[in-house]
A = this chain, B = another copy of it.
Amino acid sequence: MTDMTESVEKWGIFELALSGPADGNPFTEVSFGARFRHKNRVVEPDGFYDGDGVYRVRFMPDTEGEWHYETVSNVDELAGHRGSFTCVPPTTPGNHGPVQVHNIYHFAYADGTPHVSVGTTCYAWVHQGDALEEQTLETLKQAPFNKMRMCVFPKHYPFNANEPPLYPYVRGEDGQWDFQRFNPAFFQHFETRVGQLRDMGIEADIILFHPYDRWGFATMPPEADDLYLRYVVARLAAYRNVWWSMANEFDLMKSKHEADWDRFFRIVQESDPYQHLRSIHNCRRFYDHGKPWVTHTSVQHSDLARVPEWREAYRKPVVVDECRYEGNIEKMWGNITAQEMVHRFWLGTIGGGYVGHGETYLHPEDILWWSKGGVLHGESPARIAFLRRLLEEHAPEGLDPVSREGASKGEDYYLFYFGVAQPGRFLFTLPEAHQYRLDVIDTWNMTITPVEGTYSGTFMLELPSKPFHAVQARRVDS
Contact = CB atoms under 8 A, between A and B. Distances in A.
Residue with the greatest number of chain B CB neighbours at <10 A, chosen from A330, A425, A426, A467: A330
Protomer copies: 2
Interface string A447-478: 00000000000001000010100000000000
A467 B335 CA distance: 9
B330 A422 contact: no
A90 to B, nearest CB: 43
Residue with the greatest number of chain B CB neighbours at <10 A, chosen from A327, A405, A422: A422
Interface string A315-343: 00000000000011110100111011000
B336 A422 contact: yes
A328 B362 contact: no
A214 interface: no
A164 interface: no
A424 B328 contact: yes
A340 B420 contact: yes
Interface string A423-436: 11111000000000
A336 B405 contact: no
A464 B289 CA distance: 40
A332 B420 contact: no
A406 to B, nearest CB: 11
Contacts of A404: 332
A240 B467 CA distance: 41
A370 interface: no
A335 B418 contact: yes
Contacts of A405: 332
A427 B460 contact: no
A418 B335 CA distance: 9
Given A332-B405, A404-B332, A460-B330, A467 B337 contact: yes
Contacts of A340: 420, 467
A465 B330 CA distance: 10
B423 A330 contact: yes
A317 B460 CA distance: 40
Contact of A424 (B336, B339, B362): B362
Nearest to A460: B330
B467 A425 contact: no
Contacts of A335: 418, 421-424
B460 A421 contact: no
Contacts of A330: 423-427, 460
Interface of A: 303, 327-330, 332, 335-337, 339-340, 361-362, 404-405, 418, 420-427, 460, 465, 467
A-B CB proximity, top 6 nearest: A328-B424, A340-B420, A328-B465, A335-B421, A335-B423, A330-B426
5 contacts: A328-B423, A330-B425, A330-B460, A337-B421, A339-B467
